[in-house]
Amino acid sequence: MPELPEIANLASQMDRHLSGKQISSIEIVQPKCLNLPTGDFSQALTGARIDQASYHGKWIQVHTSQGWLLINLGMGGEILLTTRQELPPKWRAIFDFGDATCLAINFWWFGYLHYVPEGALETHEMTARLGPNVLDLSNDDLRRLIKGQRGTIKSFLLDQSKMAGIGNAYIHDILFLARLHPQRKMDGLAPGEIDALAAAIQQGLRPSLDKGGAFYEKDIFGRQGGFSMDDILIGYKETQPCPACGTPIIKIKTGSTSSFICPHCQPAG
């Protein structure tokens, strides 16, 4: 599912290939994903010229001449730059451009398409509450964030209001790289472990970012990402040997999500 590397790539591609295009019409299949009634939403963005696209955590922020289009793919989906003649079989919304191309958006479950008027971005709670993009954190930033925190390290890393971008797919390798058990308590971390965590976050996300995202997601041209199963260290590799020590990887329940760990390299402590 899309996390920071995939979102960052999509936003970058959209910025490069959509800027300057004008939205001529909008077709919505699933009104439930909007924050406005369908008519209001369409009216707000029809005629808008796309200025630029960026991202914050798992949200893509498209700035237009008529305000912001905010996209969250939820648990996975596609944003395709295509034409009416080559539409994918399924989609939730289509933005037609004046030049015969269109943007077809699909997502499996709980995606969002939100409109926010110009200058009102800080009133959009779901993005305003996000912490800094996780790749922008320095070791000192991380240390400050951790100070005074309780709870488990996994729920901390997944808390988008602390830092934005980590999801339940990349977190397995991040915690493995830091040699930390997902259920270690935040107040029990040694300074050296925090530094290791800061390095692990970079190490766990950048390779995928550089390769265009994960193999199970597509870019706006429908091409798969270059980050393959072989690039993943331990995530989703239950029973396979740990790359560091050879101990079989196990899958455990952590709250309502699953985690993959090496029981030898990541002791519960």
Q: In the 3-class helix/strand/coil scheme, how is the chain assigned residue by residue?
A: CCCHHHHHHHHHHHHHHHCCCEEEEEEECCHHHECCCHHHHHHHHCCCEEEEEEEECCEEEEEECCEEEEEECCCCEEEEEEEHHHCCCCCCEEEEECCCEEEEEEECCCCEEEEECCCCHHHCHHHHCCCCEHHHCCHHHHHHHHCCCCCEHHHHHHCCCCCECCCCCCHHHHHHHCCCCCCCEHHHCCHHHHHHHHHHHHHHHHHHHHCCCECCCECCCCCECCECHHHCCCCCCCCCECCCCCCECEEEEECCEEEEECCCCCCCC
Which CB atom, from 150 or from 239, has the smaller least distance to DNA? 150
Nearest distance in Å: CB 239, DNA: 13
Please, what is the minimum distance in Å from the beta carbon of residue 243 to DNA? 20
Task: Give the nearer residue to DNA in terms of CB position, either 32 or 206.
Answer: 32
Task: Determine the Cα–Cα distance for residues 179 and 210; give it in Å rounded to an integer.
Answer: 23
Closer residue to DNA, CB minimum distance, 76 or 207: 76
Q: Tell me whether residue 2 or residue 67 sits nearer to DNA (CB atom).
A: 2
* Nearest distance from C-beta of residue 88 to DNA, angstroms: 11
Comparing CB distances to DNA, the nearer of 109 and 221 is: 109
Asked if 225 contacts 215 with a C-beta cutoff of 8 angstroms, the reply is yes
Considering beta carbons, is residue 147 or 251 the nearer one to DNA?
251
Identify the CA nearest to 80 among candidates 161, 136, 10: 10
Give bridge partners of residue 23 from the DSSP assignment: 97
Is 67 or 167 the residue whose CB approaches DNA more closely?
167
Q: In whole angstroms, what is the distance from residue 179 CA to residue 197 CA?
A: 8
Minimum distance from residue 152 beta carbon to DNA (Å)? 5
The least CB distance from residue 191 to DNA, in Å, is 20
Q: How far is the CB of 206 from DNA (least distance, A)?
A: 17
Smallest distance, Å, CB 145 to DNA?
A: 13
Residues at the interface with DNA (CB under 7 A)? 1, 3, 57-59, 72, 74-76, 90, 108-110, 125-126, 129, 149-152, 155, 158, 160, 167-169, 236, 251, 255-258
